[in-house]
Amino acid sequence: MLNTKTILAGLIIMLAYHATALTQTRIDSLRTILEQVNIPDSITIKTSVEVCNAIVNTDKEYLLPDLALKGLEVNASDNEFMAHSISILHELLGNYYCRLGKMTNAIEHFERMRLIGEADQDSTIIAKSNNGLGTVYYQMGSFPKALDYYYKALSLSGTDTLFKVRIYNNIGSAFTSLGPMDSVMQYYNKSVAYHLSHQNFNYLSTTYSEIAILYQKQKNDAELKKYFNLALDASLKANEPFQTAGVYLSIGEVILDQHPDIAADYFGKALALAQQTNNYDQIIKSLEKLAFLSEKKRDFERAYEYLNLLVNLDNSLDSKQSRNRLEQLEYEQNADTKRNIATAKSNRQKSFLVILSVSLAALFILLLMSYNLHRLRMKISRTRDKFFSMIAHDIKSPFSGILGLSELIKEESESHPDPLHQKQVASLHESLTHVYDLLDNLLVWSQSETGKIAFKPQIQIVAPIVEGVIQLHQASAKQKGITIVNEVAFGLTARFDANMFHTILRNLASNAIKFSPDKATVFISAIKQGNEVLVAVRDQGVGMDASQIEKVFKSDDRISTPGTRNEKGTGLGLILGKNFITRHGGKIKVESKKGEGTTISFTLPD
């Protein structure tokens, strides 16, 4: 006999399915309306807005640019309602392209939205466009510019309190990267007060979680614990499993290193809730963390179980993506067929279209079957690679702790009265740093050779990455009295993968310091040249002759030349850098003369 819990679970599943079916039915109905011809402009734009709002953050979101375009083609001159609707479509497209990382497209739509607001003297539209532009520049890492737009949005937000609260959270996020603690909290506190008064527990939980993460950066454990407890309490009051699972994941990640057993309990709770709501992102994060913790405890059997669940989940996701792709192709094919039939003048032309469609469908099915077979082989390889990754972690993580300990010992030895002791400790730390760099480059190089490094280029500002590399090498440069100069203009942008770009610059800067004499200067520059950005690292070091330049990029002739203080290198830095530059579609060039220094430059897409 079924118990009460089983019955309730069945009812919940039925209600969720019914809601999904209703949403899908409504989307299909709205799309059908847009496909009709000779419908009034007011109906076209209203339907376009409704269907675009309905598909945001769903597996049909890929249709958004096409469906929004139907509304944007309407002539909205001298019609306040239609102009407002068009501004909504620009906002939806701006947010969509921002999520995809296509920042140029996002800026274009938010600027068009702003022009509509200025033409109609509508401060609400202008405020929302400024908020959107602020988010774009926040994603690009230009925090001062993002704050500028957020403040403009706040000054024009009027009486829309909920919109103000959204801006408060955005300003708080931007200040987290730039400002002092009191600047951040004054905006978060306004957000908390509003959500408490309106009992918006979902939003309240999110805000508390953001504050907790902020206190984690401040290393304030008491406040961190307090706000995570508040976030958890608010999510439970909201009765939203997705929100609660998100809080559990955040807590688990924060205490992962200090309390792995407690963290595992939180990840387990997050997994259970994520499975209830079929939230794939949360399920994947929970399984990955549980697999990592099991491997850390040497419970390889449990780690394998979690990894196996991940592989099975990947299979189901691939199946779902294939169905979505089939639906997309079917939608595009049906639209093409309708347009062709409308212009057909004979039964022979119609028959030809039908035969062509069937042939294309058969060809697509064959290609899909071949693709799925390839995916199956890749999944077997990926499971193996995950185990190799776990083994690599076993080597690198303990060594990182040893390196940190040697840094502390070195700092303490600087006050030791015996110069020989200071020199020995410094030599030990330098040797450990060399071995760690070698291990890091070896791991990155092996991942690059096997194609396991994800390549995710996007338009970004160059200067912050360069500054981060300079900070990383300040200690080694200071030992030789070397000055590193950042000659990159702050507003310069290029299209690159941030992790790969950082690795390229890190190795080039390390070589420049290694081969420079004491009290020399290393220059890092970047300038726009046509459709490319030229990045260069120039030193005043020992230089190279033609035979040495010829060998620097050859893995079979790889040599490591001692530096000016007999520093040792890995010999992999330039090879790895050239690999990553090639992935970007760029070229690398070495210019050097014995005794006059070296300049290594490479190009990135503008």
Using alpha carbons, select from 523, 506, 515 the residue that is nearest to residue 568.
515
| Residue 235 belongs to some domain of the structure | yes
Give the pairing of strands 483-486 and 521-529: parallel
Confidence of residue 384 (pLDDT cuts 50, 70, 90): low
Q: Are residues 131 and 2 in the same domain?
A: no
Q: Using DSSP, how many helices (H) and how many strands (E) does the chain show?
A: 22, 7
Read off the pLDDT of each residue in 41-66 and give the average, rounded to a whole number. 79
Query: Per the structure block, which two tokens stand in for 424?
Result: 């020995």
- The pLDDT of residue 18 is 36
Q: Are residues 132 and 19 in the same domain?
A: no
Read off the pLDDT of each residue in 226-254 and give the average, rounded to a whole number. 84
User: What letter would DSSP give residue 62?
Assistant: G
Q: Distance between CA atoms of 404 and 420, rounded to whole angstroms?
A: 22
Q: Are residues 580 and 472 in the same domain?
A: yes
Q: Distance between CA atoms of 324 and 327, rounded to whole angstroms?
A: 5
| Residue 525 belongs to some domain of the structure | yes
| Residue 334 belongs to some domain of the structure | no
3-class DSSP assignment, residue 346: coil
Q: Distance between CA atoms of 524 and 84, rounded to whole angstroms?
A: 47
Query: Per the structure block, which two tokens stand in for 201?
Result: 């527990």
Read off the pLDDT of each residue in 336-365 and give the average, rounded to a whole number. 66
Q: Are residues 67 and 149 in the same domain?
A: yes
Q: What's the total number of domains in the chain?
A: 6
Using alpha carbons, select from 362, 364, 273, 284 the residue that is nearest to residue 316.
284
Q: Are residues 213 and 269 in the same domain?
A: no
Q: Are residues 101 and 49 in the same domain?
A: yes
Which of these ranges, 142-156, 284-298, 309-323, has the smallest mean pLDDT? Answer: 309-323
Domain of 586, CATH number, reads 3.30.565.10
Q: Look at residue 1 and tell me whether its pLDDT is greater than 50.
A: no
| Residue 324 belongs to some domain of the structure | no
Q: Are residues 461 and 601 in the same domain?
A: yes
Q: Are residues 258 and 305 in the same domain?
A: yes
Q: How many percent of the chain have pLDDT more than 90?
A: 13
| Residue 390 belongs to some domain of the structure | yes
The last residue of one of the domains, among 213, 239, 265, is 239
Among 230-239, 367-376, 449-458, 501-510, top mean pLDDT goes to 501-510
Q: Are residues 213 and 281 in the same domain?
A: no
Residue 213 structural domain: 161-239
Q: Are residues 364 and 481 in the same domain?
A: no
Confidence of residue 448 (pLDDT cuts 50, 70, 90): low
The last residue of one of the domains, among 182, 205, 239, is 239
Average model confidence (pLDDT) across the chain: 76
Domain of 277, CATH number, reads 1.25.40.10
The last residue of one of the domains, among 158, 178, 193, is 158
Among 6-20, 146-160, 354-368, top mean pLDDT goes to 146-160
| Residue 335 belongs to some domain of the structure | no
- The pLDDT of residue 501 is 92
Which residues are CB-contacts of 591 (< 8 A; sequence separation ≥ 6)? 598, 599, 600, 601
40: left (phi over 0), alpha (psi -120 to 50) or beta: beta
| Residue 337 belongs to some domain of the structure | no
Q: Are residues 66 and 23 in the same domain?
A: no
Q: Give DSSP secondary structure letters for 127-195.
A: HHHHHHHHHHHHHTT-HHHHHHHHHHHHHT-TT-HHHHHHHHHHHHHHHHHHS-HHHHHHHHHHHHHHH
| Residue 28 belongs to some domain of the structure | yes
| The dihedral formed by the CA atoms of 184, 189, 191 and 197, expressed in degrees to the nearest 10 | 180
Domain of 176, CATH number, reads 1.25.40
| The dihedral formed by the CA atoms of 16, 17, 19 and 24, expressed in degrees to the nearest 10 | 140
CB 601 within 8 A of CB 543: no
Q: Distance between CA atoms of 360 and 339, rounded to whole angstroms?
A: 17
Q: Are residues 372 and 492 in the same domain?
A: no
